[in-house]
């Protein structure tokens, strides 16, 4: 039956998937790196400015990066929060600022119709260069952050994630939650925020991403105007290396939930890792392939133990987590853990079959165009390529890199990178009595 | 599960004439299947969705959640393809797929390279009429759905409150039941129940096929005819109306669950676009929601979160595209040292103000500008566009409403916003729930080294 599908070519579609996207790259006079893709068809643009100023730069002040980003649009130059919100929303623009482990991002989605675009861009420019960090705004946003942190304590999933990162990263800056802890956020001051902003929100530390219906000349002007009022500054020093934990641990947090949340893993892979594609394809087969994967099959399809069961490598500047996760009824936890461990161990020992590898490659390369089939997704990809300084032809060579992966390269990479005796396990839920 | 997708929409206004909105094409096959196609050639991909007119609001007591259970069983095999093969074939062809159930619909989708559309059609047509419902598969999948309920509802204080709240607010309307179903009903589904539900609702004349992407309309129609055209239609029994009985006074409840933060939710009974006596009322309620919660410059953020600092978060929402009359909801979480009672009072004051004062010109302008911009942004996503068409068609309004949205919002006046506030946001039609946090035992962590 299936042969039939391939022989019927009903839709004569121009297959241009190989030419992914033409990324143009340059530096502003202030030294900010710019990445630009022209897309046509819709009169809109996505603009992002990324700084190497994520929670990994918090130092001891956990939550500082997130609070700094969150305060940006609460006042700048002569404008208060209400005025800033009015300026964006009156032209239908969407503005956002936030932080993750590796970076802080300030983003804008706007129409390209000139008066609308100009107003939105001018507002973003002032926010970047002259944030107020007023005392009243600082106190309010800090209190809102504290409320959010309290709310995390209601969630067994959030508690598990926090404990898991701590278990994996110990004293490394990746260990703490990006929004901080109740204790560290309560201790933050306005001065902390000012200093963090002054040190990291500088032109030399900025990556500008522009994807949308703007000409090259407009993109150049846009990029320059966004950073021209920032001091040039310097890039921060490289983050420390991640050391693997010295021994495996199992940690249980008692919580009055009906399910136990299970996380198992280790520090995994980083963006420029030579093993990246082998680990990516291997994980796709193990637990990354959505409704089709070994973990999904063993945990959910065969045994009905969980609604979701998956695994992922999260590549960062330094090795981000490799994590296997599921949630199951409290009393089934030992059984689910057993299935999880066996599935993982068998896969690392034996690797995928030829059929599995072929199916995974077909899924990844066949769905390649869907990775950046709209402005939003493309903008995210270009931001990643820019921030992590991946090759500009990363998307063009992606399929070839996937094709190169073999069973041997997968098992070799997994054996080296996922030493089973060192796995960190976190469970949060109610222990069966 | 419960989507508020129709907040904003599409229309080509003069400013964007050079980016003319692509047209939707419609064809009804001989067996009643409605096919909607919207071409978008920006990327060589396609999304294909099959929408069935059935969801939790179609369910009688005793089998609540059965539409969602059936959605899960739709991946469990047919005469031609054994359990799991559907997903495997889609994956091998580079596709992504899943399904979702709401109160008013059950929908299945694949996103694929545009050249693979036939793969999706063949499989969807097959399971529309030839599903195998097996007791063994049901037994396992029941466990999966029970885990899903634990994850989504049982261990989530806000979701738990929301479920209890709907159950109180509605009397005779099926919107009182959770989409995923009550635990006792989930535990007692029989294969015969699912078989009957499948037989009753899964037929070409109860479905809409929506295709958006890099395709040619006529070829999609031909392909739909080829794969779906031979399916037999069913004789559809009319759905009982189950309209909500009039509410005769305010209803209040307390929900006590292990949690850290209190919160309050207010819900007024209001019509949707489908049930509004006059259409403009629904568009005016949509604008009213935007006045309260259309971004950081809207009243709740500006006045409750920033100005008076009573709330750490506050929001309002209106389900414009519900099949039955629904709730206009306001919810808020108090700031440290403030109470849910203070917030309730403040939210009610906001409503009173909308009833007494006309909204300002710049507020109305801001909402219209946002709607216009969103109309462009939404065209960035094929999936979203397909969702809009599928939803409107499935609740019985017709996909054409999508094209009218921006224009109708533009016609809304400040007086109309005041009028719907006066007509519908009434104390006697109000429902209130307070989340009263119960202690979570201090988390005790035990750590040990292995081996």
Domains and CATH numbers, chain A: 24-227 (3.30.830.10), 249-429 (3.30.830.10)
**Residue range B290-297: average pLDDT?**
96
Is-contact B325 B173, C-beta < 8 A? yes
Tokens for A84?
Answer: 């800033």
Which residues of chain A lie closer than 8 angstroms to B143, CB-CB? 304-305
Q: Is B3 helix (H, G, I), strand (E, B) or coil?
A: coil
Burial state string for B143-177 with b = 16 or more CB within 10 A and e = fewer than 16: bbbbbbbbbbbbbbbbbbbbbbbbebbbeebbbbb
Is-contact A157 A258, C-beta < 8 A? no
Q: Are residues B214 and B351 in the same domain?
A: no
Which residues of chain A lie closer than 8 angstroms to B295, CB-CB? 85, 88-89
Q: What is the pLDDT of residue A110?
A: 98
Nearest by Cα to A209 from A307, A105, A129: A105
Res B406 pLDDT > 50: yes
Is-contact A206 A90, C-beta < 8 A? no
**Residue range B433-451: average pLDDT?**
79
Angstrom distance (rounded) from CA A279 to CA A416: 11
Tokens for A280?
Answer: 């990516």
Res B6 pLDDT > 80: no
Res B300 pLDDT > 90: yes
Residue of B nearest to A373 (CA): B43
From A14, A251, A328, residue closest to B447, measured CB to CB:
A251
Give CA torsion, residues A56, A57, A59, A60, to 10 deg: -60
- In a domain? residue B140: yes
Q: Are residues B217 and B273 in the same domain?
A: no
Integer angstrom CA distances of residue A63 from A153, A181, A192, B347: 16, 7, 11, 31
> Is there a catalytic annotation at residue B71?
yes
Q: Do B261 and A154 touch (CB under 8 A)?
A: yes
Tokens for A409?
Answer: 């390269």
Q: Do A81 and B296 touch (CB under 8 A)?
A: yes
Residue of A nearest to B262 (CA): A151
Which of A301, A376, A380, A426 is the best mutation test for B, with the most CBs of B within 10 A?
A301
- In a domain? residue B192: yes
Q: Do B441 and A256 touch (CB under 8 A)?
A: yes
Q: What is the pLDDT of residue B444?
A: 65
Per the structure, the complete domain to which residue B204 belongs is given by: 31-228
Whether ipTM exceeds 0.85: yes
Which residues of chain B lie closer than 8 angstroms to A10, CB-CB? 117-118, 219, 222-223
Q: Are residues B95 and B131 in the same domain?
A: yes
Structure confidence by residue, pLDDT tens digits, B133-150? 999 999 999 999 999 999
Q: Are residues B358 and B403 in the same domain?
A: yes
Q: Report B:172-231 residues touching A (Cβ under 8 A).
A: 214-216, 219-220, 222-223
Q: What is the pLDDT of residue A5?
A: 32
- In a domain? residue B388: yes
Is-contact A46 A109, C-beta < 8 A? yes
CA-based nearest distance B391→chain A, Å? 22
pTM, rounded to two decimals: 0.94
Q: Do A253 and B444 touch (CB under 8 A)?
A: yes
Angstrom distance (rounded) from CA B362 to CA A224: 32
Q: Report B:372-391 residues touching A (Cβ under 8 A).
A: 372-374, 376-377, 379-382
Q: Are residues B298 and B428 in the same domain?
A: yes
CA-based nearest distance B81→chain A, Å? 10
Q: What is the pLDDT of residue A2?
A: 31
Residue of A nearest to B310 (CA): A140
- In a domain? residue B403: yes
Q: Are residues B177 and B308 in the same domain?
A: no
Quote the percentage of chain B above a pLDDT of 90. 92
Number of domains in chain B: 2
Angstrom distance (rounded) from CA A319 to CA A101: 12
At residue B350 the predicted structure's pLDDT band, cuts being 50, 70 and 90, is very high
Residue of B nearest to A362 (CA): B92
Q: Is B258 helix (H, G, I), strand (E, B) or coil?
A: strand
Q: Do A82 and B306 touch (CB under 8 A)?
A: yes
Packing angle of the helix pair B85-92, B117-129 (nearest 10 deg): 170
CA-based nearest distance B268→chain A, Å? 27
Q: Do A290 and B96 touch (CB under 8 A)?
A: yes
CB of B93 within 8 Å of any CB in chain A?
yes
Which of these is catalytic: B71, B141, B329, B346? B71
Nearest by Cα to A116 from A141, A94, A83, A138: A94
Which residues of chain A lie closer than 8 angstroms to B365, CB-CB? 90
Which residues of chain A lie closer than 8 angstroms to B385, CB-CB? none
Q: Do A247 and B451 touch (CB under 8 A)?
A: yes
Tokens for A405?
Answer: 């992966």
Q: Identify the helix (H) or strand (E) that includes residue B239.
A: none
Tokens for A391?
Answer: 């090759």
Three-state SS for chain A is: CHHHHHHCCCCCCCCCCCCCCCCEEEECCCCCEEEEEECCCCCEEEEEEEECCCHHHCCCCCCHHHHHHHHHHHEECCEEHHHHHHHHHCCCCEEEEEECCCCEEEEEEEECCHHHHHHHHHHHHHHHHCECCCHHHHHHHHHHHHHHHHHHCCCHHHHHHHHHHHHHHCCCCCCCCCCCCHHHHHCCCHHHHHHHHHHHCCHHHEEEEEEECCCHHHHHHHHHHHHCCCCCCCCCCCCCCCCCCCCCEEEEEECCCCEEEEEEEEECCECCCCCHHHHHHHHHHHHHCCCCCHHHHHHHHCCCCCCCEEEEECCECCCCEEEEEEEEEHHHHHHHHHHHHHHHHHHHHHCCCHHHHHHHHHHHHHCHHHHHCCHHHHHHHHHHHHHCCCCCCHHHHHHHHHHHCCHHHHHHHHHHHCCHHHCEEEEEECCCC
Q: Are residues B263 and B411 in the same domain?
A: yes
Which residues of chain B lie closer than 8 angstroms to A150, CB-CB? 260-261
From B92, B140, B302, residue closest to A362, measured CB to CB:
B92
Burial state string for A394-407 with b = 16 or more CB within 10 A and e = fewer than 16: bbeebbeebeebeb
Sequence-distant (6+) residues with CB within 8 A of A108 are A46, A47, A48, A88, A93, A94, A95, A96, A120, A121, A124
- In a domain? residue B242: no
- In a domain? residue B236: no
Residue of A nearest to B306 (CA): A140
Q: What is the DSSP string of B19-53?
A: GPPPPEEEEE-TTS-EEEEEE--SSSEEEEEEEES
Q: Are residues B150 and B95 in the same domain?
A: yes
Is-contact B59 B185, C-beta < 8 A? no
* Least confident piece of the model among A197-201, B368-372, B437-441: B437-441
Is-contact A60 A184, C-beta < 8 A? yes
Q: What is the pLDDT of residue A289?
A: 87
CB of B428 within 8 Å of any CB in chain A?
no
Structure confidence by residue, pLDDT tens digits, B249-284? 999 999 999 999 999 999 999 999 999 999 999 999
Size of interface A-B (CB pairs under 8 A): 282
Q: Do B381 and A376 touch (CB under 8 A)?
A: yes
CA R_g for chain B: 23
Residue of A nearest to B73 (CA): A301
Residue of B nearest to A284 (CA): B91
CA-based nearest distance B450→chain A, Å? 5
Nearest by Cα to A56 from A239, A271, A266: A239
Higher pLDDT, A11 or B164: B164
- In a domain? residue B235: no
Integer angstrom CA distances of residue B83 from B124, B132, B143, B175: 14, 9, 16, 32
CA B380 to chain CA mean position, Å: 20
Nearest by Cα to A429 from B445, B157, B153: B445
| CATH number of the domain where residue B188 is located | 3.30.830.10
- In a domain? residue B16: no
Q: Do A16 and B151 touch (CB under 8 A)?
A: no
Which residues of chain A lie closer than 8 angstroms to B214, CB-CB? 13
Q: Are residues B347 and B415 in the same domain?
A: yes
Q: What is the pLDDT of residue B22?
A: 76
Residue of A nearest to B117 (CA): A11
CB of B112 within 8 Å of any CB in chain A?
yes
CA-based nearest distance A45→chain B, Å? 9
Which residues of chain A lie closer than 8 angstroms to B21, CB-CB? none
Which residues of chain A lie closer than 8 angstroms to B369, CB-CB? 89-92
At residue B450 the predicted structure's pLDDT band, cuts being 50, 70 and 90, is low
Q: Are residues B144 and B269 in the same domain?
A: no
Domain ends where: B180, B213, B228?
B228
Integer angstrom CA distances of residue A370 from A126, B388, B443: 35, 20, 42
Three-state SS for A247-305 is: CCEEEEEECCCCEEEEEEEEECCECCCCCHHHHHHHHHHHHHCCCCCHHHHHHHHCCCC
Q: Do A301 and B216 touch (CB under 8 A)?
A: no
From B88, B141, B370, residue closest to A92, measured CB to CB:
B370
Q: Do A153 and B260 touch (CB under 8 A)?
A: yes
Tokens for B284?
Answer: 């005016």
Q: Are residues B291 and B183 in the same domain?
A: no
Sequence-distant (6+) residues with CB within 8 A of A145 are A63, A66, A67, A70, A179, A180, A185
Which residues of chain B lie closer than 8 angstroms to A354, CB-CB? none
Q: Are residues B214 and B315 in the same domain?
A: no
Which residues of chain A lie closer than 8 angstroms to B444, CB-CB? 253-254
Other CB atoms closer than 10 Å to residue A85's CB: what's the count?
23
pLDDT in tens, chain A (433 residues): 233 333 333 333 333 334 568 999 999 999 999 999 999 999 999 999 999 999 999 999 999 999 999 999 999 999 999 999 999 999 999 999 999 999 999 999 999 999 999 999 999 999 999 999 999 999 999 999 999 999 999 999 999 999 999 999 999 999 999 999 999 999 999 999 999 999 999 999 999 999 999 999 999 999 999 999 999 999 999 999 999 999 999 999 999 999 999 999 999 999 999 999 999 999 999 999 888 999 999 999 999 999 999 999 999 999 999 999 999 999 999 999 999 999 999 999 999 999 999 999 999 999 999 999 999 999 999 999 999 999 999 999 999 999 999 999 999 999 999 999 999 999 999 996 6
């Amino acid at each position: 039956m299936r042969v039939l599908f391939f022989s019927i070519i009903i839709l004569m579609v121009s297959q241009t998937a190989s030419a992914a996207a033409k990324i143009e790259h340059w530096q502003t006079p202030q030294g900010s790196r710019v990445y630009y893709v022209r897309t046509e068809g819709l009169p809109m643009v996505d603009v992002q400015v990324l700084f190497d100023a994520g929670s990994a730069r918090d130092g001891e002040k956990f939550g500082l990066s997130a609070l700094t980003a969150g305060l940006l649009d609460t006042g700048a130059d002569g404008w208060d929060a209400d005025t800033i919100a009015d300026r964006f929303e009156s032209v239908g623009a969407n503005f956002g600022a936030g932080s993750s482990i590796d970076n802080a991002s300030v983003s804008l989605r706007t129409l390209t119709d000139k008066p609308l675009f100009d107003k939105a861009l001018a507002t973003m420019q002032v926010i970047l260069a002259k944030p107020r960090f007023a005392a009243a705004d600082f106190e309010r946003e800090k209190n809102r952050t504290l409320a959010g942190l309290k709310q995390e304590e209601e969630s067994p999933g959030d508690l598990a994630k926090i404990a898991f990162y701590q278990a994996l990263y110990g004293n490394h800056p990746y260990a703490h939650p990006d929004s901080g802890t109740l204790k560290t956020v309560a201790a933050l001051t306005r001065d902390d925020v000012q200093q963090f902003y002054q040190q990291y929100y500088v032109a030399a530390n900025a990556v500008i991403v522009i994807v949308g219906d703007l000409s090259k000349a407009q993109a150049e002007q846009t990029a320059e105007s966004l950073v021209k009022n920032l001091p040039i500054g310097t890039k921060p020093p490289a983050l420390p290396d991640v050391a693997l934990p010295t021994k495996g641990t199992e940690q249980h947090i008692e919580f009055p939930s009906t399910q136990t949340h299970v996380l198992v893993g280790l520090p995994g892979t980083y963006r420029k890792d030579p093993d990246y594609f082998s680990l990516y394809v291997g994980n796709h087969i193990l637990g990354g392939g959505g409704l089709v994967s070994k973990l999904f099959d063993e945990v959910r399809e065969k045994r009905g133990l969980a609604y979701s069961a998956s695994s992922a490598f999260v590549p960062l500047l330094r090795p981000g987590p490799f994590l296997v996760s599921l949630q199951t009824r409290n009393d089934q936890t030992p059984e689910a853990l057993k299935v999880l461990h066996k599935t993982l161990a068998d896969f690392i020992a034996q690797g995928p079959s030829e059929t599995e590898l072929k199916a995974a490659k077909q899924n990844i390369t066949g769905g390649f165009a869907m990775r950046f089939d709209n402005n939003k997704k493309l903008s995210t990809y270009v931001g990643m390529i820019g921030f992590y300084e991946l090759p500009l032809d990363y998307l063009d060579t992606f399929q070839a890199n996937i094709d190169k992966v073999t069973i041997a390269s997968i098992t070799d990479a997994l054996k080296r990178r996922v030493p089973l005796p060192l796995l960190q396990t976190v469970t949060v839920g109610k222990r069966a009595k | 599960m419960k989507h508020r997708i129709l907040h904003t929409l599409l229309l080509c206004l003069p400013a964007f004439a050079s980016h003319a909105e692509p047209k939707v094409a419609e064809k009804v096959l001989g067996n009643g299947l409605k096919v909607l196609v919207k071409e978008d050639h920006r990327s060589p991909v396609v999304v294909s969705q099959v929408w069935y007119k059935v969801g939790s609001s179609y369910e009688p007591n005793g089998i609540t959640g059965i539409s969602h259970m059936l959605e899960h069983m739709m991946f469990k095999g047919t005469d031609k393809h054994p359990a799991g093969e559907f997903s495997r074939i889609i994956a091998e062809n580079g596709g992504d797929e899943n399904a979702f159930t709401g109160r008013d619909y059950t929908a299945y989708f694949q996103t694929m390279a545009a050249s693979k559309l036939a793969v999706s059609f063949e499989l969807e047509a097959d399971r529309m009429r030839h599903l195998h419902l097996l007791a063994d598969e049901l037994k396992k999948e029941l466990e999966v759905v029970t885990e899903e309920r634990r994850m989504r509802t049982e261990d989530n204080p806000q979701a738990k409150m929301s479920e209890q709240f709907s159950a109180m607010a509605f009397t005779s309307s099926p919107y009182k039941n959770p989409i995923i179903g009550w635990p006792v009903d989930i535990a007692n589904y029989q294969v015969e129940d699912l078989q009957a539900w499948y037989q009753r609702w899964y037929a070409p004349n109860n479905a809409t096929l929506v295709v958006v992407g890099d395709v040619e309309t006529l070829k999609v129609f031909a392909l739909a005819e080829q794969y779906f055209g031979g399916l037999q239609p069913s004789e559809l029994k009319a759905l009982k109306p189950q309209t909500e009985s009039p509410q005769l006074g305010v209803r209040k409840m307390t929900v006590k669950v292990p949690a850290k933060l209190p919160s309050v939710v207010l819900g007024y009974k209001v019509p949707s676009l489908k049930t509004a006596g006059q259409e403009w009322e629904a568009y005016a309620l949509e604008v009213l929601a935007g006045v309260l919660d259309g971004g950081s410059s809207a009243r709740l953020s500006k006045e409750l979160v920033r100005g008076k600092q009573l709330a750490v978060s506050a929001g309002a929402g209106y389900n414009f595209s519900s099949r039955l009359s629904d709730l206009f909801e306001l919810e808020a979480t108090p700031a440290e040292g403030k109470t849910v009672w203070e917030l309730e009072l403040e939210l009610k004051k906001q409503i009173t103000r909308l009833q007494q004062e006309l909204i300002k010109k710049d507020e109305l302008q801001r909402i219209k500008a946002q709607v216009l911009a969103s109309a462009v942004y939404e065209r960035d996503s094929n999936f979203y566009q397909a969702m809009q068409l599928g939803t409107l068609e499935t609740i019985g309004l017709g996909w054409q409403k999508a094209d009218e949205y921006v224009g109708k919002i533009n016609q809304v006046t400040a007086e109309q916003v005041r009028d719907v506030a006066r007509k519908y946001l009434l104390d006697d039609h109000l429902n209130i729930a307070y989340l009263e946090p119960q202690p979570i035992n201090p988390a005790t962590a035990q750590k040990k080294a292995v081996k």
